[in-house]
With several copies, the nearest count.
Chain A
Amino acid sequence: MYADTVIGDKLIRKPRFLLGLLAVAFIAFFTFNMADTIIGEFLRPVIGEPKESGLFGRSAAALVLAILFVGNLFVISLFPIKVQIGIVWLQLLLLFMAFFYSFDLKFSFIQSKIGFMITQGLFTTLYISAVSIMIASVIAIVGAVAKLSNNGVAFAIASFYTSLFRGLPLLMQVFLIYMGLPQIGYVIDAVPAGIIALSLCYGAYMTEIFRAGIQSIPRGQWEASRSQGFKFGLTMRRIILPQAVPLIIPPTGNQFIAMLKDSSLVSVIGVWELMFLARTLGQKEFRHMEMLITAALIYWCLTMVLEVIQSRIEKHYRQKGAR
């Protein structure tokens, strides 16, 4: 985005803003009665037994929290921007972990299962997703070109394809391929069936993304390229697509991240990927939450890795394509 050459005064330095923030924070904490929580314990010397401290205890707890909150923001704002980002991330992470912790999880159970989840589950998930997204990208380029072409048959097939495979639930597609192909004489294994379903489905979504990216490149680029005698394919490959990349990458990243999790749908046909194991391993002892949270954290880590990769690629292409 356009970075302006004028920097407004930092809001956080304005006393009026600080007071307003304090008030908002106070009201928020007050409505969520915080006296019952650990804060109440800390305030015991002042408010007495937290459970019985009533309105007074409630507002005392809220006030303390609100001051902590605003003070925290203020202190953060004194640091350079990179440090700010780091601190805020860390704080949010801790808060979130505390939230998980409040579920009263049995960690020994998680420990005993996590190894298998990673070696068997994560591996399968990654493998299926990576193969599928690659096939989907190829489908998407072909599909996008077909949808933008003026060949009636190609357009019709491509638009039927995107409509159908975006239209049917992925679960349905998995079923149709796994159970439908045998009807016409082809018995197919679970993993290939899953990969086919995921590739076709995401290929349809990505066709739309690629189409938008290609369409956004100004006409002048086509003209400059074609007027030098570059053929269609060359123009597409060397002139148009590289410029479309910064536009295509973020939604494609979305799709890949979504696919990591959608690949869990293939567990219905008995593929032992991450989510399948999460749902299964906890079954015997009713420890679903433990397993689900573990799986969620693994997914999250994966997502963060992908986000870093994504922003690298984007930066690389954006620097080049700066206008």
Chain B
Amino acid sequence: MSQNNQKPASDNLVISMEGVSKWFGEFQVLKDINLSVRQGERIVICGPSGSGKSTLIRCLNRLEAHQEGTIRVDGIEMHERMKNIDEVRQDIGMVFQHFNLFPHMTVLENCMAGPNWVRGVPKAEAKERAMAMLTRVKIPEQADKYPSQLSGGQQQRVAIARSLCMEPKVMLFDEPTSALDPEMVAEVLDTMVGLAESGMTMICVTHEMGFARKVGDLVVFMDEGKIVERNNPTDFFDNPQSERTKLFLSQILSH
């Protein structure tokens, strides 16, 4: 992959958001978000439903346009007139909340497409890599099925494998374990821990607090479009600052 872009001023920042705001029509989804992520850092985003978590990470690869503030990925500013959006996106893997698999392609083809079509990896190698990733998420035997023939959890795992096949520099996960059973959750989280240890930069929207504690460098708590609190996991869970966070945590821990 291309060398990390080491802008002098950015101190190895892979992602930086400064004063980012976004509206859907009248409704402000994101309010003055500031966030920097250094290479290899693992950020966990949590917060109540509708607080703008998905929107935030979708802004990072510009699936959504923000209206105010600046977002930089790898030192490149994401804005309306940028030229190299496709290259930037190749380096940002994304696992969607709704999976968005390609229904007309088999599981294997879903995983091979990216490397083969845009990275120029030869078919045979792309296939090998895809099978390796599918094995990693424990569904190599489903390789020749179409997405519609899979259970919810299986689909989610394909979505993860598809992203990993692109060997991105940053991974964005939008609730990557929502459709999984606890066993599978554990396994997927293990996969993610493995990625984390290999130095991959990750931003993960999740409510798996175990994961946050284990691999998170920073936990960010959002509510109503604002970042309410950010802290390292230990402090976040054991010593939350804001009332809102305390309330949220009390809910999690109580059941």
- A–B direct contact (CB < 8 Å): yes
- Interface residues of chain A, those whose CB is within 8 Å of chain B, are 5-9, 220-221, 223-231, 234, 238-239, 242-243, 317, 320-323
- CB-defined A-B contacts under 8 Å, sample of 30: A5-B62, A5-B64, A6-B62, A6-B80, A6-B85, A9-B81, A9-B83, A221-B100, A221-B102, A224-B96, A224-B100, A224-B102, A226-B63, A227-B89, A227-B94, A228-B89, A228-B90, A228-B166, A229-B86, A229-B87, A229-B90, A230-B113, A230-B114, A230-B118, A234-B118, A238-B113, A243-B102, A322-B103, A322-B146, A323-B148
Q: Which residues of B contact A239 (CB under 8 A)?
A: 102
Cross-interface CB contact of A223 among B90, B92, B100, B117, cutoff 8 Å: B100
Q: Which residues of B contact A242 (CB under 8 A)?
A: 104
Q: Which residues of A contact B92 (CB under 8 A)?
A: 227
Q: Which residues of B contact A323 (CB under 8 A)?
A: 103, 148
Q: Given known contacts A228-B89, A229-B114, A230-B114, what 17 new A-B pairs fall within 8 Å (CB)? A: A5-B63, A5-B80, A6-B82, A7-B80, A8-B83, A221-B100, A226-B89, A227-B89, A228-B114, A229-B87, A230-B113, A234-B117, A243-B102, A243-B104, A320-B103, A320-B146, A321-B104
Against A, the Cβ 8 Å flags (1 = close, 0 = not) of B65-97 are 100000000000000111101111110101010
Q: Which residues of A contact B126 (CB under 8 A)?
A: none
Q: Which residues of B contact A7 (CB under 8 A)?
A: 80-81
Query: Closest CB-CB distance, A313 to chain B, in whole Å?
Result: 13
Query: Closest CB-CB distance, A211 to chain B, in whole Å?
Result: 20
A220 touches B89 (CB 8 A): no
B148 touches A322 (CB 8 A): yes
Cβ-closest chain A residue relative to B115: A228
A220 touches B98 (CB 8 A): yes
A43-B98 Cα distance, complex, nearest whole Å:
64
Query: Closest CB-CB distance, A223 to chain B, in whole Å?
Result: 5
Q: Which residues of A contact B137 (CB under 8 A)?
A: none
Interface centre among A223, A234, A317 (most CB of B within 10 A): A223
A227 touches B63 (CB 8 A): yes
B201 is an interface residue with CB less than 8 A from chain A: no
Q: Which residues of B contact A227 (CB under 8 A)?
A: 61, 63, 89, 92, 94
A323-B101 Cα distance, complex, nearest whole Å:
10
From residue 119 to 149 of chain B, which have CB atoms closer than 8 A to chain A? 146, 148-149
A243-B86 Cα distance, complex, nearest whole Å:
22
Query: Closest CB-CB distance, A268 to chain B, in whole Å?
Result: 43
Against A, the Cβ 8 Å flags (1 = close, 0 = not) of B143-186 are 00010110000000000001000100000000000000000000
A238-B87 Cα distance, complex, nearest whole Å:
19
A231 touches B86 (CB 8 A): yes
Q: Which residues of A contact B166 (CB under 8 A)?
A: 228-229
A317-B105 Cα distance, complex, nearest whole Å:
10
Given the known A-B contacts A6-B85, A230-B118, are A320 and B94 also in contact in the complex, defined by CB atoms under 8 Å? no
Cβ-closest chain B residue relative to A227: B94
Cβ-closest chain B residue relative to A10: B81
A323-B148 Cα distance, complex, nearest whole Å:
5
Q: Which residues of A contact B63 (CB under 8 A)?
A: 5, 223, 226-227
A321-B109 Cα distance, complex, nearest whole Å:
13
Q: Which residues of B contact A9 (CB under 8 A)?
A: 81, 83
Query: Closest CB-CB distance, A292 to chain B, in whole Å?
Result: 44
Q: Which residues of B contact A322 (CB under 8 A)?
A: 103, 146, 148-149
A159-B94 Cα distance, complex, nearest whole Å:
37
Given the known A-B contacts A5-B62, A5-B65, A220-B98, are A238 and B103 also in contact in the complex, defined by CB atoms under 8 Å? no
A238-B63 Cα distance, complex, nearest whole Å:
20
Interface centre among B83, B86, B88, B94 (most CB of A within 10 A): B86
A234-B113 Cα distance, complex, nearest whole Å:
11
Q: Which residues of A contact B87 (CB under 8 A)?
A: 229
A150-B85 Cα distance, complex, nearest whole Å:
18
